[in-house]
Amino acid sequence: MNAITLRFALLSSTVLMPLTAQSAEQVGSGGSLPEGSPEGMALVDQAGLKKHAFALASDEFEGRYTGTAGQLKAAAYIAEHFMSLGLEALGDEQADGARSFYQEYEVARSYLDPEESGIEIGSEEFRSGYGILVGAKEAGASIEGVFHFVGTGSPKNLPDGDLSGIIPVAYLRAAPLTINNPTIKMGAGLRQLFIVQGIAKRLASKGAKAVLVCMGNDENGIPDMINMMGMTPEKHSLSYGGGMSRTQDCEIPVAFANAELSAKVLAALQVTMDEEGKPVQAEQENSVMGSLKLVVKEDPSFRVPNVVAFLKGEDPDLAAEAVVYSAHMDHMGMRMDGDAFNGADDNASGSAGLLEIAEAFAKGPRPKRSVIFLSVSGEELGLWGSEYFSENPSWALKQMVANINIDMIGRVADISGESEVSVTPSYRHKMYSSIGRRSAELADQLGLGLTVGDKFYARSDHYNFAKKNIPVVFFCDGEHEDYHQVTDHADKLNYRKMELIARLAYWTGWDVANATEHPQVIGKHRGWLGAKR
């Protein structure tokens, strides 16, 4: 789920929908389905959800950052699943007139050239294990000279004279964070970033062209900040339609070495730590020749994919209309210490739900209206993929009757418990629709409670459909301690909860796809099933 701003606000004010006497345990895998539920709903099960979530959230997919090899591998996985179900492609039109499963859009890409960039100190050369923040004037730097240790970068540690041709090495004292809390980690990372910006400014005033920052650990907030606001050899920076992925300038380019690389650099410079954890250099300074090459290149026409497929409805009069299911496949990529942001809940869980729902429609009874299955990239960067689809639809926009979006459905979180799901637009929202109301009725039959998720209204891909006046409903669990952390792993997902929510999404879309009337925005109400305000 997209964070929008550099904050991780904890949400409150949950409003629960009472559970029925029928427990959620009864409708889990192997349990009986509620009376009147569609036959295909049994095909949405925990086994399939688990298979897809474990695959997409594995290290093999490298955190699925938009445009990287890992995200392209995720797109191929999803496209192959759609093809195996016999769904029809709805992506870009090919030269022969046929459609592809991929819908590509153009972004501008800045990246560290993997062949020309690296750190060489003494006889050792390193092509990975570091990240950079660009300079205010120069994105990159290429320096050959003497590595010079400047301690913590305070004025008393800085050498006299011109630093041109010298590669300053600073040490950032930052204790590891023992609490896995997104808000705390973000705050700590920003404070450390401000310190580094000050160091870079002081070094620039003495003629330095770049700086290498070493650290004692990888759990201090900076590696997460570099992932969000910088570049690594494995992660580029993108912009789309005038909107940038998060970036941050320093006075001069700054390279951050991860803990493993830092230890090698400091050892080469004969720097040790005293009992208080302060860096101490040998009395006789060890001058080590080497180079710091940060070669940043630009590709203004880089292309990244969504994946789109559809199942044609069986009613000849209604098949031209479609219900759109959406979920984003992308996440945050690889951290500079080599750990992947696997994004199991965000959003391997929703993607797994999308794949299972597609299977239920493809193998179960066919609905009257058509159903579109849209897996988007660029969500974490600003809802880019769904924006592009909504602006360049491969299905007539006026014939899209509803959007059902699934993003983060596998955890007990701040605004949803084990048998609850947050929903937006809720009955409190002016865009509350007949889809949301019907979802509330069906959730009751499934034993699911609903909580208000309206703070997420503009934070996931349904929003781009809502802006086109298409009624939407968004299912989400909320935020938790592993949100946007490298600890968001598939073995932490609650597959029973995922099954219930994915079944709710399937049943909701099934009803919309077979209804006589179109869904409508119905405005604020006095409860999920209450009277209009």
Q: 3-state SS string over 120-155?
A: EECCEEECCCEEEECECCCCCEEEEEEEEECCCCCH
- Does domain 114-294 correspond to CATH entry 3.50.30.30? yes
For residue 209, the surrounding DSSP H or E stretch is none
Q: What is the pLDDT of residue 15?
A: 38
The contacts of residue 101 (CB under 8 Å, 6+ apart) are 79, 82, 83, 89, 90, 91, 307, 308, 309
Q: How wide is the angle at C-alpha 44 spanned by C-alphas 77 and 74, nearest 5°? A: 15
Residues 239-248 as b/e (b if ≥16 CB within 10 A, e otherwise) read bbeeeebbbb
The H or E element containing residue 200 is helix 182-205
State how far the alpha carbon of 108 is from the alpha carbons of 19, 230, 248, 259, in Å. Answer: 49, 15, 17, 31
State the pLDDT at residue 183.
Answer: 83
Q: Fold match between 24-107+301-514 and 114-294?
A: no
CA-nearest of 324, 308, 238, 380 to 75 is: 308
Contact (CB, 8 A) for 81 and 355 = yes
Query: Do 385 and 306 meet the contact criterion of CB atoms below 8 Å apart?
Result: yes
Helix (H, G, I), strand (E, B) or coil at 525: strand
What one-character DSSP code corresponds to residue 206? T
Q: What angle do CA 530, 531, 533 make, to 5 degrees?
A: 120
pTM comes to 0.93
Where exactly are the structural domains of the chain?
A: 24-107+301-514, 114-294
The pLDDT value given to residue 30: 46
Q: How many Cβ atoms sit within 10 Å of the Cβ of residue 89?
A: 21
Q: What is d(CA 516, CA 512) in angstroms, rounded to the nearest whole number?
A: 9
* Domain covering 24-107+301-514 assigned CATH 3.40.630.10 in the classification: yes
End-to-end CA distance of the chain: 31
H or E stretch including 528?
none
Instruction: Per residue of the chain (533 residues), give pLDDT as tens.
Output: 887 543 323 233 333 343 333 333 334 454 579 999 999 999 999 999 999 999 999 999 999 999 999 999 999 999 999 999 999 999 999 999 999 999 999 999 999 999 999 999 999 999 999 999 999 889 999 999 999 999 998 888 888 888 888 999 999 999 998 887 788 888 999 999 999 999 999 999 999 999 999 999 999 999 999 999 999 999 999 999 876 666 678 999 999 999 999 999 999 999 999 888 889 988 776 779 999 999 999 999 999 999 999 999 999 999 999 999 999 999 999 999 999 999 999 999 999 999 999 999 999 999 999 999 999 999 999 999 999 999 999 999 999 999 999 999 999 999 999 999 999 999 999 999 999 999 999 999 999 999 999 999 999 999 999 999 999 999 999 999 999 999 999 999 999 999 999 999 999 999 999 999 999 999 999 999 999 99
- In this prediction, residue 18 carries a pLDDT of 37
Burial class (CB in 10 A: 0-12, 13-18, 19+), 383: buried
Please report, for residues 30, 329, 358, 404, 472, the alpha-carbon distance to residue 505 in angstroms, rounded to integers and kept in the order given: 19, 18, 11, 7, 12
Residue in 474, 357, 494 with CA at minimum distance from that of residue 407: 474
H/E stretch holding 373 reads strand 370-376
Cα–Cα distance list, 251 to 13, 170, 197, 209 (Å)? 43, 15, 7, 9
Nearest to 513 by CA among 231, 324, 385, 255: 324
Nearest to 475 by CA among 518, 431, 508, 510: 508
- Does residue 425 have a cis bond before it (omega within 30 degrees)? yes
3-state secondary structure of 196: helix
